[in-house]
A and B are shown apart, each in its own frame.
Chain A
């Protein structure tokens, strides 16, 4: 009996995506309905940020790096400021540190709410997109009140923050925290126990802890695979060691666990923001930094826990007012690298679900 001749064919999940992950092209090699191989083609959003930063002074690099990962621009500002402060041994005042933590955690929540909306949208539930954005508006209003911007802030500067919070920030922030805490039960009630959601997400894209560590995966996907590693605890920066918060982990490492992981992280962020608001001291908001910032020659790798993973900057200074090298590293870079391993043998609909659950933002990958 002759064998039926089958052929693999390639399908292009082209740069134009209905989902808002950014421009990423995935070349899927399919055998019938099953995916055999995924090849990501990136570089559509390459803006040569690292090369640009080599020709800018240190304070000028901060708005450039805002665009490095624009959904959590506060984190990008912060990690560069952290690297520069470590190079020049600058002590940041207390009030500035508290404000930084509040802004970072608010940004993390805003990013996770965006992720929630777009993940549900990718899988067909259109309404949670609007609910996530409704809460995100509260946070963006707070940012606009503070630094005038909703997306790329240029707020965390070397030595502190750019300007102090207005007096109506604290009551509005507490109100926002309260509203989001209440609405979390809405989000969980809508999708957590939904049989369709569970059928689409459970056992899909299982990432073992060994695979995650081998590929350098960080952030919620790593913790959802069971590895309890959070840079806020393992390598503390800023004043995170003063706050009480848990590091949730999940067991299975499938898409559903990554979903639950991020929802739990929103709750932890809410706790941190409340504690920071309670303990906010008076004082300066910026250390005395010389007008022309020339750190002594040296190298430092500053890393922080972003909502997508580990955000790192390897900063090399040669004593002049411009950095010699700014090597940036975003969490989505490694998380996208592990996608071909996760997607083998699944259907296209599952590839969409995995990409949504990994929370990949292309500007971090392409820079």
Chain B
């Protein structure tokens, strides 16, 4: 489906669940609700017209006000793409795991938990991944995290 067809189709079928954002500069970007996301993901996976069976990327984002999670989905057969973003507050950030739908999400979610602290419910292996096993200095990718031995150098006039 072309981008316009896709936009129309989603506007009709998923009007309540996916709200379009105009921050996306190349692909269609939608915002979704974090609480019912797993069912929505399954619907997107099984929808005959959309068939989003290929998860390209799953990442955590820390805008300075809240957490966000981005899901970049694609379809091998239909050859179209969509980006979905969830917003989560800083406290008790939790999301359901989508690894039953796309098994490739397993490592992405594990990394997101480790670096951001977003809890992933239903994940089978939330253990230390990229950081050392005995890491106890918090979640590094958060914007308010500094390393214990961090020294701020003066800005070099950029």
Contact = CB atoms under 8 A, between A and B. Distances in A.
A contacting B, Cβ–Cβ less than 8 Å: yes
Interface of A: 42-43, 46, 48, 50-51, 54, 57, 86-87, 89, 213-217, 227, 229, 234-235, 292, 297-303, 310, 312, 314, 316, 318, 321, 324-325, 327, 329, 333-334, 337-338, 366-367
Contacts of B129: 42-43
A164 to B, nearest CB: 26
Contacts, number: 98
B61 A302 contact: no
B57 A51 contact: no
Interface in B38-83: 53-57, 59, 61-63, 70, 72, 76, 79, 81, 83
B102 interface: yes
A300 B24 contact: yes
B57 A50 contact: no
Given A215-B103, A301-B26, A325 B62 contact: yes
Interface string B115-139: 0000000000000111110000000
B68 to A, nearest CB: 9
B130 A43 contact: yes
B106 A337 contact: yes
A215 B104 contact: yes
Contact of B25 (A234, A300, A312): A300
Q: Is the interface of B mostly helix, strand, loop or mixed?
A: loop
Contacts of B79: 234-235
B107 interface: yes
Contacts of A227: 76
B23 interface: yes
Contacts of B132: 43
A13 B4 CA distance: 50
B140 interface: yes
A323 to B, nearest CB: 11
B55 A216 contact: yes
Contacts of A334: 104, 107
Centre residue among A43, A234, A338 by max chain B CB count within 10 A = A43
A299 B158 contact: no
Contact of B56 (A89, A214, A329, A338): A329
A314 B59 contact: yes
Given A43-B129, A51-B141, A234-B79, A312 B72 contact: yes
B131 A299 contact: no
B8 interface: no
Given A57-B158, A324-B63, A327-B70, A301 B57 contact: yes
A51 B141 CA distance: 6
B57 A213 contact: no
Q: Closest 10 A-B residue pairs measured CB to CB?
A: A216-B104, A327-B59, A43-B130, A215-B104, A300-B25, A46-B130, A298-B25, A329-B57, A300-B26, A325-B61
16 contacts: A51-B140, A214-B53, A215-B104, A229-B76, A298-B25, A299-B29, A299-B83, A300-B27, A301-B56, A301-B57, A310-B56, A312-B72, A314-B57, A314-B70, A329-B57, A329-B59
Contacts of A312: 56-57, 72
Centre residue among B25, B107, B128 by max chain A CB count within 10 A = B25
A321 B156 CA distance: 14
Contacts of B130: 42-43, 46, 366-367
B54 A216 contact: yes
B138 to A, nearest CB: 13
B45 to A, nearest CB: 10
B103 A214 contact: yes
A305 B25 CA distance: 20
Contacts of A51: 140-141
A241 B87 CA distance: 37
Nearest to A321: B158
A316 B143 CA distance: 14
Contacts of B131: 43, 46
A217 B76 CA distance: 11
Contacts of A321: 158
A299 B24 contact: yes
